[in-house]
């Protein structure tokens, strides 16, 4: 277990020392089961913080609000840099408990964000504004103290503004990404540790600067809010 945690933090530290145009946030697969089901999670994802939430206002209907906040300082080739990502999204979808433990979910979502790289040493900067549209499918097994599953997300990223050293480029750039991940949660009934491992792969290589791995480790709380 200690070796696994060391490997996780080594990989995420390596990823956090790079600057990217696109940072994929972790996939939110809440495995909702009935009206009132609520999930709130915080996860350390590729050097940043994911905030994930989900709620079921009606049977078979789930809504999500998620964000990724990344702000990193690093030094590379005697150059001090600050880089990161501020991203917010919302989604809605359908879920269905196929049997006592098996849950299927499908979500459609959209979000807006900005990635950035600022170099105090060289006096340069880059701000990239983008939006994201995505479709996601989840399938998982859920018990009282543990849940496991697979999530698959297809993403369209549109970069609509790229300002580099006060030289804005407004030509829109599109890219699509395939982002599958496996996840496991374990612990108490209402508070569990969550581990997610996946990857992001571009379809057309229009955007080349992005992390290939999606790795996150955090805590999630589940409870009923206005349920049966």
What does the alpha-carbon distance between residue 60 and residue 92 come to, in Å, rounded to a whole number?
11
Question: Is the CATH code 2.60.40.10 the one for domain 2-224?
Answer: no
C-alpha closest to that of 23 among 193, 181, 179: 179
What does the alpha-carbon distance between residue 63 and residue 57 come to, in Å, rounded to a whole number?
8
Confidence at residue 18, expressed as pLDDT on a 0 to 100 scale: 58
Confidence at residue 226, expressed as pLDDT on a 0 to 100 scale: 83
Confidence at residue 121, expressed as pLDDT on a 0 to 100 scale: 80
List the chain pLDDT tens, one digit each, 228 residues: 444 443 443 344 344 445 799 999 999 999 999 999 999 999 999 889 999 999 999 999 999 999 999 998 876 666 688 899 999 999 999 999 999 999 999 999 999 999 999 988 878 899 999 999 999 999 999 999 999 999 999 999 999 999 988 888 878 999 999 999 999 999 999 999 999 999 999 999 999 899 999 999 999 999 999 876
To which residue do tokens 């600057």 refer?
A: 19
Is the CB of residue 91 less than 8 Å from the CB of residue 80?
no
Confidence at residue 17, expressed as pLDDT on a 0 to 100 scale: 47
Query: What's the pTM?
Result: 0.89
Confidence at residue 154, expressed as pLDDT on a 0 to 100 scale: 98
Element (H, E) at 70: strand 61-76
What does the alpha-carbon distance between residue 109 and residue 90 come to, in Å, rounded to a whole number?
6
- SS3 label, residue 50: strand
């Amino acid at each position: 277990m200690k070796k696994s945690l060391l490997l996780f933090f080594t990989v995420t530290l390596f990823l956090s020392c790079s600057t990217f145009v696109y940072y994929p946030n972790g996939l939110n697969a809440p495995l909702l089961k009935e009206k009132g089901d609520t999930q709130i999670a915080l996860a350390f994802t590729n050097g940043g913080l994911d905030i994930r939430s989900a709620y079921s206002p009606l049977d078979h209907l789930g809504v999500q609000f998620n964000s990724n906040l990344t702000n990193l300082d690093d030094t590379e080739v005697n150059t001090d840099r600050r880089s990161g990502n501020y991203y917010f999204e919302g989604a809605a979808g359908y879920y269905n408990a196929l049997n006592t433990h098996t849950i299927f979910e499908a979500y459609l979502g959209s979000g807006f964000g900005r990635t950035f790289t600022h170099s105090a040493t060289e006096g340069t900067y880059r701000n990239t504004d983008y939006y994201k549209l995505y479709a996601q499918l989840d399938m998982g097994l859920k018990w009282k103290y543990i849940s496991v599953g697979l999530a698959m997300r297809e993403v369209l990223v549109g970069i609509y503004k790229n300002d580099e050293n006060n030289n804005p480029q407004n030509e829109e750039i599109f890219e699509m990404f395939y982002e599958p991940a496996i996840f496991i949660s374990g612990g108490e009934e209402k508070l569990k540790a969550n581990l997610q491992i996946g990857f992001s792969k571009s379809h057309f290589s229009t955007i080349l600067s992005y992390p290939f791995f999606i790795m996150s480790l955090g805590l999630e709380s589940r409870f009923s809010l206005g349920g049966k």
